[in-house]
Structure 1
């Protein structure tokens, strides 16, 4: 099954309240097109964490192996895979080329686990440029960031406590 996923993340302040959004589109064997929208918000987080979490949520929503194209306006997320940054981080024990700890390791590891059973391709799209599905993912992310039901981003809280932010 082929799935197109448009993902986005948002934060009001960096760090601050944040949210992710994802729009998944797939065509059933019957030929009927289906759309699934996902979102969630957090009390205190960063934009980059929400960008990653949008992709994680999209992949974790799939219940069988799929061919997935992730469309994201986050160079951080897309280039981690297209430029193989993540391979270098893993080879260096989750350190950057400058030998500093990679931020958001908890979410990168969760993303790697979520994509394991799928054939995933990452495509960068320009944000706020009229792509309707990217705009919808952005709308979902910002609505989640502004909602009254925000959760705790424990990974961010732990990193902040360790002085990594």
Structure 2
């Protein structure tokens, strides 16, 4: 079984109040995680996001016999898990210049959890660019930012089809990686390959249209129960607005 996970962390002040977010695709199900911490740095929250994701896989989900693929936009986290961490362990958690590794306790917990997962699973790491419209990376960022700001946000545990209703793009457009396009054939939609006519958002019952995704994202980021969707033409835009008006 293949498991996809996007993680992200955020702090408002560096150090300051922080939040983390994680989004999983496991078979045909979606799971979201999020949380808040006080007086933390951005890097600490990036690490916290990964720790919570790993803890979910080790504990609640009891993951085994799976290929787990992480998508992370933090060069700090990726550098650690793919290289630095092994050297730190060999050097008794000291850097090359014999100073204590920053955030040592967090890295040690990541090392422990990865050790458990690697016994019965294969783990792969991929770098994604932040704020480039990769749907699940943006969703993880919205979760992290919302928790950092102590704004309520609904965390989803649902099937892929229902989950797509809150996303601006179908789930199959979340990455150029072929593995994600193959993950759930039922979710393949012509919408993912067509140019956007506009984006529609609804916040606190008020519906607005936007010409660009960044404009739409700015409005919905950190907003509780916000909805947003790509439209393909004027008729599609009108249909979505009509559908959402029936929700209020």
| TM-score scaled by length of structure 2 | 0.55
Q: Secondary structure at the match of 2:116?
A: coil
Q: For 2:67 and 2:111, how far apart are their aligned partners in 1?
A: 15
The 2-side partners of 1:124 and 1:92 are apart by: 26
2-structure distance, mates of 1:143, 1:122: 25
Query: Structure 1 residue 74 and structure 2 residue 77: aligned?
Result: no
Displaced runs of 4+ in structure 1, greater than 6 A?
none
User: Structure 1, unaligned stretches of length 5 or more?
Assistant: 28-32, 150-165
Query: 2:136 pairs with 133, 137, 161, which one?
Result: 133
Query: Which structure has the larger Rg?
Result: 2
Pick the aligned partner of 1:40 from 16, 19, 35: 35
**Partners in 1 of 2:151 and 2:72 — Cα distance?**
26
Aligned-residue offset at 1:67: 2.0
Instruction: Give the CA RMSD over aligned residues.
Output: 1.4
Q: Please tell me whether residue 106 in structure 1 is matched to residue 105 in structure 2.
A: yes
| 8 Å contact kept, 1:20–1:51 | yes
1:82-121 counterparts in 2 under 5 A? 82=82, 84-118=83-117, 119-121=122-124
Q: Which residue of 1 aligns with 2:53?
A: 58
Q: SS of 1:117's equivalent?
A: helix
CA deviation map 1:81-113 (0-9, x unaligned):
22x111111111111112221111111111112
- Give the total of aligned pairs: 143
Q: Which has the higher helix share?
A: 2
Structure-1 separation of matches of 2:114 and 2:93: 18
Paired residues for 1:153-164 under 5 Å: none
What runs of 5+ residues in structure 2 fail to find an aligned partner?
Answer: 153-248
Please report how far the alpha carbon of residue 68 of structure 1 lies from its aligned counterpart in structure 2 after TM superposition.
1.1
Contact 1:55 1:70 survives alignment (8 Å): no
